[in-house]
Structure 1
C-alpha cells in the first residue's frame, strides 16, 4: 500500500520563486515588502515579479512608456465597450473589468505578441548573415501572398499612430546610450520600409512600436501580450467605473430606438405542416 503525499510533497505543490509568505512576513523575489513600499515604483515592481530582477533605469523608463501608451483607445475598442456594457448589467466592477479583459485575444489585443515573434525571427535570421532589408522584404511578401495583415503595422483609425514617434524616440535614445542593442528597432523600421515599397506608407501602430520596446528589453512574446493586457486593464477599469456611475441600466451596443439590421427570411406564416 503506497503512502500518501508527504508534507514536503504538499508544500511543493504550489512552490514558487516569486513570493515567500510566513506569519508576519511577505517577500517579493527575496525582498521584504516593507522595504519596497514607498521606495520601489509600481512599474519596477512589475518587472521584478515577472523577470526576477530589479530593472535598470532604462528598462523601467521603456517599460513604463510602453504601458502608458497602451492604457486606452476609447469606448469604440471592443474590450472597453464590453466592460462598459457589463457595468450596466448589475455585475460588480471586478466582473465588468474581467469581461473587458476576456475580449483581448489574437485579433483584438494579440498583435503585439505576434509582432514580437515576427521581429524576433527577423533579428535571428539577420544574425546569421542575411541582409535585414531583404529578410523584411521576404517576410512582407509572405504576408501579402497570404492576404494577411502584418501584425503591428497600419491602423484602421489613425493614418499615423500618434504614439509611434515618441516611443521610437525613447528607444533610439536607449540605443545611442548603449542601453539596448537596437536590433529590434532596426527590424521594425525594416518592415515599415518594406511595406512602403511601391505602395502608400503603412506606419507601425502601438502594437508594432511596443513590440520593439519589448523586444529590446528581452521580453518574450507571450509576456509582451501580458504586459499589454495589464496596461489596457487600466483603461478598462476607468471606463467600467465611469459607466457604472451613469445610472443607465442594461446598455446595449446600439442606442435606442435603433435595432440591428435583419438579413434573414421575410415574415411568413407558420402552417404547422
Structure 2
C-alpha cells in the first residue's frame, strides 16, 4: 500500500500559482515589479500591454508601432463573423460580457488567426534570406506553404482591392527601420512575397491587415501566437462597440437574416 501523499503546505499552494506577471498583497499591486500607482497617469494602455507581455516598458517608437497595429485591427464591420455574432448575442439577454465573449470566441484559425500564421510565414522567409536573396527565399517558402494549402495568410482581400490600412502601417514600419527601432527583415520578407504573388497578374495581391500587423509584431519580436492574442485585444474594442449599439436598437433574438428572408431549401421533397 503506497503511503499517503503529504498534506500541501501554504508554501506549496503559493508556489502552485507562482508568477512573475504581478504581485498582489495587502496594500500592494505591482505589474512586472512596478507599483501600479506609478504606472497610472504615466504609462499608456499600449505601454502596459507591452509591459505585461514582455516584462519591460517599450521605447516610444516601439509603442507607436504596437498601438498602430492595435488601432488598425479594431473593427471591420458587422459582416465580420465575430462582430455579427456578438450583435446577435446582445439581443438574447446574455449581457455585454457574454456578447463580447461570443464574438471573441469566433476568432479562430480562419477568422482571426491569419496574423499569427503570417508571422510564422514571414519568419521563415526572414530566416532563409539572412544575408542572402530575399526574393529567392520568398519563392521557396511560398511554394512550400502553397503545397500544403491554397490559402496564403496575410495577402489579398475578399473585400478590398487594396487594404486601406496597408500603406499607413507599412510606412510606419519603414520609418522605424530608418530610425533604427526595428531591423526590417519582416518588412523585406512581406514585400518580397507581395512582389512574388503580384508578378504576371493584371490584378495585384497586396498585403492585407493580417500581413501588415504580422510585419509589426514580427519586427517587434512578438512570438507568432501572441499575434493572435494582440489581434483579439484590438478587435475586442469593435466587438464591444457593436454589441453596445445593438443593445440600444430594441431587437430581441436577432437572427443572421431578417425574418422575411427564409433559407434556401436544398433537400429533396418526398
Q: TM-score, normalised by structure 1?
A: 0.95
2:157 aligns with 155
SS state of the match for residue 192, structure 1? Answer: helix
CA RMSD of aligned residues (A): 1.1
- Match for 2:113 among 110, 113, 125? 110
Match of 2:219 in 1: 216
**Where in structure 2 are the equivalents of 1:62-81 lying within 5 Å?**
62-81=65-84
- 1:204 paired with 2:202, answer no
- Match of residue 168 from structure 1: 170
Question: In structure 2, how many angstroms separate the alpha carbons of the residues matched to 1:130 and 1:41?
Answer: 39
What 5-or-longer segments of structure 1 have no aligned partner?
Answer: 269-273
Q: Any conservation in 2 of the 1:140–1:195 contact (CA below 8 Å)?
A: no
Counterpart contact for 2:124–2:141, Cα < 8 Å: no
User: What is the alpha-carbon distance in structure 1 between the residues aligned to residue 111 and residue 126 of structure 2?
Assistant: 25
- How far apart, in 1, do the equivalents of 2:210 and 2:136 lie? 23
Q: Could you say what secondary structure the match of 1:262 adopts?
A: coil
Q: Secondary structure at the match of 2:204?
A: coil
Q: Give per-residue Cα distances to partners, 1:87-131, cap 9 Å, x unaligned.
A: 01111100000000000000000000000000111111112x542
1:164-221 C-alpha deviation (Å, 9 max, x unpaired): 0000010011000111100000000000001011223100000000000000000000
Q: Which residue of 1 aligns with 2:22?
A: 19
Paired residue secondary structure (1:227) = helix
How much has 1:245 moved relative to structure 2? Answer: 1.1
What does 1:215-254 align with in structure 2 at a 5 Å threshold? 215-254=218-257
Task: Identify the match of residue 123 of structure 2 among 108, 120, 135.
Answer: 120
For the residues of structure 1 that align with 2:239 and 2:123, how far apart are their CA atoms?
30
Does residue 264 in structure 1 map to residue 254 in structure 2?
no
Q: Distance in 2 between matches of 1:225 and 1:143?
A: 19
Structure 1 residues 156-165 or 1-10, which shifts more?
1-10
Post-superposition offset of 1:141? 2.9
Q: How many correspondences in the alignment?
A: 266
Give unpaired runs (5+ residues) of structure 2: none
Cα distance in 2, alignment partners of residues 251 and 3 from structure 1? 55
Report deviation, 1:265: 1.7
Q: How far has the Cα of 1:140 moved from its partner?
A: 2.6
The one of 135, 138, 147 equivalent to 1:136 is 138
Give 3-state SS (helix, strand or coil) of 1:27's partner.
Answer: strand
- Tell me what 1:8 maps to: 11
Task: Tell me what 2:38 maps to.
Answer: 35
Is the Cα contact below 8 Å between 1:19 and 1:28 reproduced in 2?
yes
Relative to the length of structure 2, the TM-score reads 0.96
